[in-house]
Amino acid sequence: MRIDVLSLFPDMFAPMHQSIVGKAIEKGALDFSVTDFRQYTNNKHNNVDDYPFGGGAGMLLMAQPVFDAMDHIEQTAGDRGHVVLLDPAGRQFNHEVAQELADYDHLTFIAGHYEGYDERIRDLVDEELSLGDYVLTGGELGAMVMIDATVRFLPDVLGNQASAHTDSFEDGLLEYPQYTRPADFRGMKVPEVLMSGNHAKIAEWRLKESLRRTYLRRPDLLQGRQLTLQERDLLDDIKTEEEQ
């Protein structure tokens, strides 16, 4: 996969060369590049923003530097890729969106700043994404989050590829509690079922605890979920236990 980012602050993306994303770059599974679109301004002051026509607060990113930087990416990569604009009004990013993005061979993120964009920039864009109902000072942090979540789904990026498919949200539930050695730490003991060797019982316990955690912390995830008979029975047990 190739990922390009258009940003005024390329140094902010240094963390992308660390941890899992960094390993993906080292392995050659990810070709990652950040383009400073200030370098593509055609005015003597290198301005990338200007006042909006009609008045109003704040400054807008100009179309020209972004278009010219995108032309450069298209010339060097052979295409623009699937272009994502970071915008608070966009579709909310989540686990499923990360999986969708991982299917593309080339992604380009536009990380904006200032009050907003010249509307014509949207002509370059395939979709607009947002981290949530709040506003950041720029799109760089949002782009890094989306890239990190997406790269995890690339083949051979995680040491254990099964990890990506047992995470929270993968099956619509929060992940069950997990433990490692020692079995008894300061009086806090690992549930005996996990050391029983009974895989059927362990699977049932994990499902129940995923349901419990989801019911207590994110009940909205259970709304509209088609529960299996086993899940319904376990959820009834959980509700009884929590009411006691």
Q: Tell me the CA distances in angstroms from 62 to 51, 85, 142, 228, one per residue in order.
A: 9, 14, 21, 53
Examine the residue annotation and report whether 127 is marked as an active-site residue of this protein: no
Say which of 36, 100, 115, 204 is annotated catalytic. Answer: 115
126 is in an annotated binding site: no
Task: Return the structure tokens found at 239.
Answer: 């509700």
Q: What share of the chain is helix, strand, coil (3-state, %, to 5)?
A: 45, 20, 40
Beta strands of the chain (E only): which ranges? 2-7, 31-36, 49-50, 60-61, 82-92, 106-110, 116-117, 127-130, 184-185, 188-189
Active-site entry in 36, 50, 128, 167: 167
**104 in a known ligand binding site:** no
Rounded distance between C-alpha atoms, residue 144 and residue 150, angstroms: 10
135 is in an annotated binding site: yes
- To the query of whether residue 152 is one of the catalytic residues in this protein, the response is yes
Q: For residue 104, which of 22, 21, 31 has the smallest C-alpha distance?
A: 31
- Residue 112 is assigned to a ligand binding site: yes
Active site includes 88? yes
Q: Is 115 tagged catalytic?
A: yes
> Which is the catalytic residue, given 4, 10, 49, 152?
152
Nearest to 206 by CA among 174, 161, 237, 180: 174
Which residue out of 52, 80, 88, 122 is catalytically annotated? 88
Residue 97 is labelled as binding a ligand? no
132 in a known ligand binding site = yes
Contact predicate 236/195, CB 8 Å: no
Taking the C-alpha atoms of residue 124 and residue 81, their distance in angstroms, rounded to an integer, is 10
Residue 211 marked in a binding site: no
Binding residues for S-adenosyl-L-methionine: 112, 131-136
Annotated binding site: 112, 131-136
**Residues recognised as catalytic:** 88, 115, 152, 167
